[in-house]
């Protein structure tokens, strides 16, 4: 690891995401708060090659203030962090099963993925479905901000997931749970399935908030 602190953590998580097959090519991007500024992965760099000493630096309003040019999707991260003060990190990937889910017709915008597992209930909770915007289109900012006020996990139509968390590990945990549940969803397609009830989901959320949830 070439850097310490927030820079080193972003580098480590970026490499881990690529190693786990959650991205391909030069897709996917991450952001983390670092004091009053936001560190973002630069444009055109595979997550496998992220160097903590060569990150883009933005101010709280998303203006590029230092380092290489940021990913064209930096505005997604800035928008989520702006409306979720408890969040300090955002992870965005084009992971296969989540991206596949994003292209299905007839998805419920309030619940595009059924709550099939307990950990989905704890790590993701509510998944918000956003309409299609071209990658890098800042016109998506208002939609991202509106959806982020009620959910830390978003699914962009014909694109992929964006998840905020208290830190990069928490955001990645939730994103992986989303991807895993999407995979289960496709594996069980055409079969009768049961989903967690609202009462069960509420109990899981309360348990997770109290810190009594079983570790992964």
Task: Give the residue numbers annotated as catalytic, written as ranges.
Answer: 73, 119
CA pair distance 190, 48, nearest whole angstrom: 36
Q: 190-204 in b/e burial notation, b at 16+ Cβ within 10 A?
A: eeeeeebeeeebeeb
Residue 167 CB-density burial (10 A; 0-12 exposed, 13-18 middle, 19+ buried): middle
Evaluate whether 214 touches 147 at the Cβ level (below 8 Å).
no
Tell me the three state secondary structure of residue 154: strand
Residue 44 CB-density burial (10 A; 0-12 exposed, 13-18 middle, 19+ buried): exposed
């Amino acid at each position: 690891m070439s850097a310490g602190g927030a820079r080193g953590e972003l580098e480590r998580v970026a490499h881990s995401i690529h190693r786990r097959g959650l991205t391909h090519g030069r897709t996917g991007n991450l952001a983390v708060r670092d004091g009053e500024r936001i560190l973002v992965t630069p444009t055109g760099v595979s997550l496998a090659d992220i160097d903590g000493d060569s990150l883009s630096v933005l101010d709280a309003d998303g203006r590029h203030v230092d380092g290489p040019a940021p990913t064209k999707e930096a505005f997604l991260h800035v928008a989520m962090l702006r409306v979720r003060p408890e969040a300090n990190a955002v992870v965005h990937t084009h992971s296969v099963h989540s991206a596949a889910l994003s292209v299905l017709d007839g998805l419920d915008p309030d619940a595009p993925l059924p709550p099939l597992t307990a950990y989905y209930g704890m790590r993701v909770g509510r998944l918000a479905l956003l309409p299609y915007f071209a990658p890098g289109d800042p016109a998506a900012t208002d939609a991202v901000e509106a959806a982020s006020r009620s959910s830390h996990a978003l699914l962009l139509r014909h694109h992929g997931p964006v998840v905020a968390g208290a830190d990069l590990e928490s955001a990645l945990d939730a994103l992986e749970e989303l991807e895993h549940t999407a995979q289960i969803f496709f594996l069980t397609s055409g079969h009768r399935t049961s989903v967690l009830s609202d009462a069960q989901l509420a109990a899981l959320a309360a348990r997770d908030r109290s810190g009594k949830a079983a570790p992964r």
